[in-house]
A = this chain, B = another copy of it.
């Protein structure tokens, strides 16, 4: 399914990958709306990015657009989707069926052709055996067996911080886990061959508040200097 990543682009940075994901989302919308062509300037305006940044990112894919015309929306989407898609559908286990786990499972964006939540896990006997978003919930104690049986290679941790390292260790002990996405506040350790990523859903809120503070401070500095003048 996925196309190879263009050679020498394997080192493409995380922020760039993040923007490629955003371009893909925008292009899917444009396809839905029947827009045939889009320019880097239009993409930039819609996503609050510089058009030079957009052109640079898309040139990674060997896409240059036509000067004064723009990019063919369908072709660009196809290329982007190919680069971002794994070589095989990734089978994912989600561990921890709390509010966040359920919100993730039921989120529209989670219905991707790139990955598939194959099993969910919890330690609460009231949850084990129930079905969440179409997925059977297994006991965390059975996780190593289920990971092997269902060929799961990525786990998403939506467990409390106090349980996260223990769950990660149990999953990693199977030798089958390539990556883990940690939504808990725990600081986790794993062998170097396992790629662990932390997601702090409030970090964007903190960034926003910091930016507003910086703007406020500049504004205050300006009004002080205006008062002195």
A residues with a Cβ closer than 8 A to B are: 2, 4-5, 10-12, 14-15, 17-18, 21-22, 25-26, 29, 46-48, 84, 86-87, 90, 98-100, 102-104, 106-110, 112, 114-115, 153-154, 156, 178-179, 181, 185, 187, 189, 195-218
CB distance from A179 to the nearest CB of B (A): 5
Determine the chain B residues whose CB is within 8 A of the CB of A215 once the complex forms: 178, 195
Q: Bound state CA distance, A9 and B112, in angstroms?
A: 40
Task: Determine the residue in chain B with the shortest Cβ distance to A14.
Answer: B207
- A86 and B212 within 8 A (CB): yes
* Residue contact A107 to B202, C-beta cutoff 8 Å: yes
Given A213-B5, A213-B86: A207 in contact with B106 (beta carbons within 8 A) = no
Contact indicator B110/A179 (Cβ below 8 Å): no
Taking a contact as CB atoms closer than 8 A, the residue among B103, B107, B178, B209 that contacts A102 in the complex is: B103
- A-B contacts, 28 listed (Cβ < 8 Å): A4-B217, A5-B213, A10-B214, A10-B218, A15-B15, A17-B206, A17-B211, A18-B207, A21-B200, A21-B207, A48-B196, A84-B209, A84-B210, A86-B212, A86-B213, A87-B213, A100-B103, A103-B103, A109-B201, A114-B209, A115-B209, A154-B209, A156-B205, A179-B209, A181-B204, A195-B211, A197-B204, A199-B204
* Residues of the B chain whose Cβ atoms lie less than 8 Å from the Cβ of A11: 214
Q: Which residues of B contact A206 (CB under 8 A)?
A: 17-18, 21, 84, 114
Q: Report the minimal beta-carbon distance from A153 to chain B, rounded to whole angstroms.
A: 8
Residues on B with C-beta less than 8 A from A46 are 187, 189
Of the candidates B201, B203, B207, B210, the one whose C-beta lies within 8 Å of that of A107 is B201
Contact yes or no, B17 A179, CB < 8 A: no
**Additional pairs, 5, CB under 8 Å, beyond known A15-B15, A103-B103:** A5-B217, A47-B187, A90-B212, A156-B205, A195-B208
